[in-house]
Chain A
Amino acid sequence: MTAPTARNVPALLQGLRTEGFSGTVRVSGLPGGSIHLRNGLVGAIETPGAPTATSALLTAGRIGDEDWLAACAAEPDADRLGGHLVAEGLIGAAELEVVCTAAVFDAAFAMALSPPGSWELSDREPVLLAEPGVEPRRLTEEASRRMALLSRLWGPPGELTRVRPARVAEAAPRGSDGWLARRHRDVLDSVNGRRTPRDIAFALGRGLYAVMLDLIRLEALRLVQWETRTTADGRPSTAPRVPQAEPTTAVRTTAVRPPEAAPLPKRRPGGASPAQDVGQKKKGG
Chain B
Amino acid sequence: MGEKGTALQASLDRLLDSPGVNGVALIDAVTGLTYCTAGDIAEAGDGPEVSEFAALIAERLGAAGADGELESVVTTSTKRHQVLFSVVRPGGDPLILAAGLDRDRANMALALRSLGDRAAEVLA
Contact = CB atoms under 8 A, between A and B. Distances in A.
Interface of A: 56-57, 60-62, 86, 92-95, 97-99, 101-102, 105-106, 131-132, 134, 138, 142, 145-146, 149, 178-183, 205-207, 209-210, 213-214, 217
Given A181-B58, A210-B31, A98 B5 contact: no
Nearest to A101: B35
A60 B92 contact: yes
Contact of B28 (A97, A102, A181, A217): A102
Interface of B: 1, 3, 5-8, 11, 26, 28, 30-31, 33, 35-36, 48, 55, 58-59, 62-63, 65-67, 69, 89-95, 122-124
A180 B31 CA distance: 17
A207 B8 contact: no
Contacts of B11: 94
Contacts of A179: 62-63, 65-67
Contacts of B5: 132
A56 B93 CA distance: 10
Nearest to B11: A94
Contacts of B59: 217
A93 B35 CA distance: 13
- Majority secondary structure, B binding face: loop
Contacts of A131: 6
B92 A56 contact: yes
B92 A99 contact: yes
A102 B1 contact: no
A250 B95 CA distance: 52
Contacts of B65: 179
Q: 7 nearest interchain CB pairs?
A: A62-B91, A93-B7, A60-B91, A179-B62, A95-B123, A94-B8, A210-B30
A94 B120 CA distance: 12
A70 to B, nearest CB: 19
Contacts of B7: 86, 92-94, 97
Contact of B93 (A92, A97, A210): A210
Nearest to A179: B62
B30 A97 contact: no
Given A149-B48, A209-B31, A210-B31, A98 B124 contact: no
A92 B92 CA distance: 14
Nearest to A177: B62
A178 B68 CA distance: 9
